[in-house]
Structure 1
Amino acid sequence: MRRDDFLKSLLALAAAGALPMTAQAASAVKMMIPANPGGGWDTTGRALGKALQDAGVASSVTYDNKGGAAGAIGLAQFVNGSKGDLNAMMVMGAVMLGGIITGKPPVGLDKVTPLARLTSEYNVFVLPANSPFKTMKDVVEQLKKDPGSVKWGGGSRGSTEHIAAAMIAREVGVDPSKINYVAFRGGGEATAAILGGNVTIGGSGYSEFAEYIAAGKMRAIGVTSGTRLQNVNVPTLKEQGINVEIGNWRGVYGAPGISKAQRDALIAMIEKATKSKAWAEALQKNDWTSAWLAGDAFGNFVDQEFASLRATMVKSGMV
Structure 2
Amino acid sequence: MLAPMLDKPGKRAPSIVWEDNMKNWICLAVASALVLGTGAASPAMAELKRLEIVAPAAPGGGYDQNARIMQSIFQKKGLASGIQVENAPGAGGTIGLANFVNKNKRNPSVLMVGLALVGAVLTNKSVVSLDDTYPLARLSGEYQPIVVAPDSPLKTLDDLVAKLKADPGSVSWGGSGPGSSDHILYGLLAKAAGVDPKKINYVVLTSGGEMLSGVMGGHVTVGTGGYSELSSQIKTGQVRALGIASPERLPGVDIPTFREQGYDVSFVNWRAVVSSADPKGQERAELEAAVAEMVKTEEWKQTIGERGWQDIYMPPAEFAAFLKEEQARVQALFKDLGLIQ
Q: What TM-score, normalized to structure 2?
A: 0.78
Other-structure match for 1:266: 287
Q: What is the aligned partner in structure 2 of residue 18 from structure 1? A: 44
The whole-number CA distance in structure 2 between the counterparts of 1:315 and 1:243 is 18
- Mean CA deviation greater in 239-248 or 307-316: 307-316
Please state how far the C-alpha of 1:71 moved relative to its aligned partner.
2.1
Counterparts of residues 81-230 of structure 1 (less than 5 Å): 81-86=103-108, 88-184=109-205, 187=208, 190-191=211-212, 193-194=214-215, 197-230=218-251
Alignment of 1:40 onto 2:40: no
- Given that 2:106 and 2:276 are in contact with CA atoms closer than 8 Å, whether structure 1 keeps it comes out as yes
Matched to 1:43, the amino acid is: Q
Give the conservation status (yes or no) of the 8 Å contact 1:224–1:245: yes
> In 1, distance between residues paired with 2:244 and 2:52?
34
Q: Is the 8 A contact 2:138 2:273 kept in 1?
A: yes
Q: Does 1:67 align with 2:89?
A: yes
Contact kept in structure 2, 1:39 and 1:186, CA below 8 Å:
no
CA distance in structure 1 between the aligned counterparts of 2:226 and 2:274, rounded to whole angstroms: 21
Alignment RMSD, CA only? 2.9
- For residues 180-228 of structure 1, what are the alpha-carbon distances to aligned partners after superposition, in whole Å with 9 as ceiling and x for unaligned? 2234565555455445554321122222222222222221111112222
CA contact (8 A) 2:168 2:199 kept: yes
Contact 2:53 2:85 in 1 (8 A): yes
Is 2:260 the counterpart of 1:239? yes
Q: Return the offset for 1:118.
A: 0.7
The equivalent position to 1:56 in structure 2, one of 71, 78, 83, is: 78
Secondary structure of the structure 1 residue equivalent to 2:80: coil
Distance 1:99 1:160, change over 3 A: same
Determine helix, strand or coil for the equivalent of 1:67.
coil
Q: Percent identity?
A: 38
Alignment equivalent of 2:328, drawn from 307, 310, 314 = 307
C-alpha displacement of 1:77? 2.5
Structure 1: unaligned runs, 5 residues or longer: 1-9
C-alpha separation between the residues in 2 aligned to 1:231 and 1:313?
Answer: 34
Listed one character per residue, the Cα deviations across residues 220-248 of structure 1 (whole Å, up to 9, x for unaligned) are: 11111222222211111122222322222
Could you say if the C-alpha distance between residues 73 and 11 of structure 1 is closer, same or farther in structure 2, counting changes exceeding 3 Å?
same
CA distance in 2, matches of 1:16, 1:296: 24
Contact 1:85 1:255 in 2 (8 A): yes
Residue 145 of structure 1 deviates from its aligned partner by 3.1
Deviation at 1:281, TM superposition (A): 1.8
Residue type of the alignment partner of 1:137: D
- Hey, what's the Cα distance between the residues in 2 that align with 1:208 and 1:33? 19
Is the 8 Å Cα contact of residues 36 and 187 (structure 1) preserved in structure 2?
no
- Count the aligned residue pairs: 305
Distance 1:188 1:50 in 2: 27
TM-score (norm 1): 0.83
The residue identity in structure 2 corresponding to 1:176 is P
Equivalent residues of 1:34, 1:67 under 8 A apart: yes
Q: Structure 1 residues 189, 70: CA separation in 2 closer, same or farther (over 3 Å shift)?
A: farther
Report if the CA contact (8 A) 1:54-1:278 is conserved: no
Q: Report the residue type matching 1:156 in the other structure.
A: G
Segments of structure 2 that go 5 or more residues without pairing to the other structure are 1-35
Deviation for aligned residue 1:126: 1.4
- Spell out, residue by residue over 1:81-139, the C-alpha distance to the aligned partner (whole angstroms, 9 max, x if none): 444333x4222122222222333312111222211111233221112345453333332
Question: What is the one-letter code of the residue matched to 1:226?
Answer: P
